[in-house]
Amino acid sequence: MDVSFLGGPRPQRGVGVVAPFDFALDRELWRWAPDQVSLHLTRTPFVPVEVSLDLARLVSEHETLREATHTLRAVSPEVVAYACTSGSFVGGLAGERAMCAAMSQAGEIPALTTSGALLEALAEIGARRIALVTPYTASVTQALEEYLAEGGVTVTDREFLGLTCHIWKVSYRSVVEMARRAVTHGADALFISCTNLPTYDAIPQLEAELRMPVLSANQVTMWSALRRIGERAVGPYQALLDPVARRGPASMTAMPSVPPSPSPSLPPPPTHAVPPAPSAALIEGPGTADAFDGGGFGGPSGLGPGALGPELLGPDGLGAVAPFADGRGEPEAAFAGAAGGAGAETEAADALDAPLYPDDPAGPAPL
C-alpha cells in the first residue's frame, strides 16, 4: 500500500532534559511542549538518600551532569535543561552557572537549569517580591530563599510541606491551599517550587483567584528551554507564557465587580432572558463535579480550564475560583484519606485527591 500521500513524519526539534532519578512527572513536562518539539529525558543515577540538601548536592555533581548530557547527544537535542530546582540552587548563583557550563561543554549545546530559568522568568514578568510554596523541609526551603536573595529577589512569605519523598503524589488541593496561605504580604508573583510537584492545571486557576502571575518549576524550565530554540511553551491562560494573561486576571490589580447599568434608551431585559445555571446533578462526564468543590481542579491528570463548559468558568473564561467546600485546610489532607463516616467526603473531593496515575493508584514503586 502506498502511504506516500501522508507526507510525514513531521520534522521534530529536540529538547534534552536531565532529571533526578526520582522524577515522576514526565507527562507534565510534555504538556508544555508544542507538537513540533520532542522531549528527550534521561535521569541521574539512583542514590539511597531522601529529599534533602545532601540529595540536592549528589544529583547535581558536575560529572553526573556531564555524563547525562553526553548520553543525550545521541538524539541531537538543540538545548539541554537540568530539571531539578533544589539541585540547581543548592550551590548558589555561582554553582548554578557552573552546572550550565559543565552541561554545555559536554553536549556542545546551550544548557540551563530550573533555578536559572526561575530568575529569568521573574525578570520577564518584572517580579522582585514573591510568595513561595515548596514541598521541602525547612532547611531546603531556606536554601532556596538564600539563592533568590542572591539573585535580588525577596520572599515575602512561604509555605512548605516538609516532605522527604513521594512528592509527586501531592494533590492539586494541597498546592492550592498552600498558595492561598502564602500570598499575604504584597507579593508580585507566586512561585511553586520542585519539578516533582504537579502544577499544570492549577496555575491558571490560581492566577484568576490570586490576581497575580503564578510560576512553577516545570513551567519555567520548559518556558526557558523552548525560548532558547525560538519556540513557545503551550499553556492556557498562564501569565508567563501569554502577555495577554498578564493584563487579565493575573494582573497585579483586581478590577472591581460592578454590575452594568441598563441603557436609559432601552427597556431592561426580561427576567427570563437568562436561564438558571444547571445544577451539579445535571452535569455529566468525568471530573466535572470538581468545579463545584475545588475551583475546577481534578487530580494532577484532571481537567484544565478548557475542558469545562462556559457555565462552570469564572471571569473571562479563566476557570471557576470558588473556594473549596469540604473544610480541609491542611496540606497533609492529601495523604490523610477520608475522615469520619462513609459519607463524610463528596465525590468531588475524592476527585481532587486522585492519584497522579489513575491507571495505577499506587503509582511507581516507592524508593
pLDDT of residue 53: 97
| Residue matched to cell numbers 498558595 | 179
Are 15 and 79 a contacting pair, CB within 8 Å? yes
What share of the chain has pLDDT > 70, as a percent? 66
Least confident of 93-107, 122-136, 242-256, 264-278: 264-278
Q: What angle do CA 252, 190, 154 make, to 5 degrees?
A: 95
- Please compute the mean of the pLDDT values over residues 302-310 and round it to a whole number: 39
Query: What tens digit of pLDDT does each residue of 58-86 get?
Result: 999 999 999 999 999 999 999 999 999 99
What gap in Å lies between CA 44 and CA 14, rounded to an integer?
Answer: 19
- Please compute the mean of the pLDDT values over residues 129-135 and round it to a whole number: 98
Name the DSSP class of 31: H
The CATH architecture to which 12-246 belongs is 3-Layer(aba) Sandwich (3.40)
Q: What is the DSSP string of 219-235?
A: HHHHHHHHHHTT-----
Name the DSSP class of 171: -
Q: Could you state, in order of their start, the residue ranges of all structural domains in the chain?
A: 12-246
Does residue 218 have a pLDDT over 70? yes
pLDDT of residue 204: 94
Using omega within 30 degrees of 0 as the cis cutoff, is the peptide bond preceding 9 cis? yes
What gap in Å lies between CA 87 and CA 53, rounded to an integer?
Answer: 8
Helix ranges, the chain (H): 26-31, 53-58, 62-72, 85-89, 92-107, 114-125, 138-150, 172-182, 202-210, 217-228, 243-246, 290-293, 333-336, 347-352
Which pTM was predicted? 0.71
Are 103 and 18 a contacting pair, CB within 8 Å? yes
Q: Which residues pair with 134 in a beta bridge?
A: 160
Does residue 158 have a pLDDT over 60? yes
pLDDT of residue 248: 60
Q: What angle do CA 44, 49, 55 make, to 5 degrees?
A: 60
Q: What is the mean pLDDT of the chain?
A: 78
> Is the pLDDT higher at 122 or at 340?
122
Query: Which distant-in-sequence residues (6+ apart) come within 8 Å of 97 by Cβ?
Result: 116
pLDDT of residue 122: 98
Q: Residue 36, Cβ neighbours under 10 Å: how many?
A: 10
Nearest residue to 189 (alpha-carbon basis) of 119, 256, 278, 88? 119
Least confident of 13-17, 190-194, 288-292: 288-292
> Is the pLDDT higher at 97 or at 272?
97
What gap in Å lies between CA 320 and CA 292, rounded to an integer?
Answer: 8
- Please compute the mean of the pLDDT values over residues 88-115 and round it to a whole number: 97
Label residue 185 by pLDDT band (50, 70, 90). Answer: confident
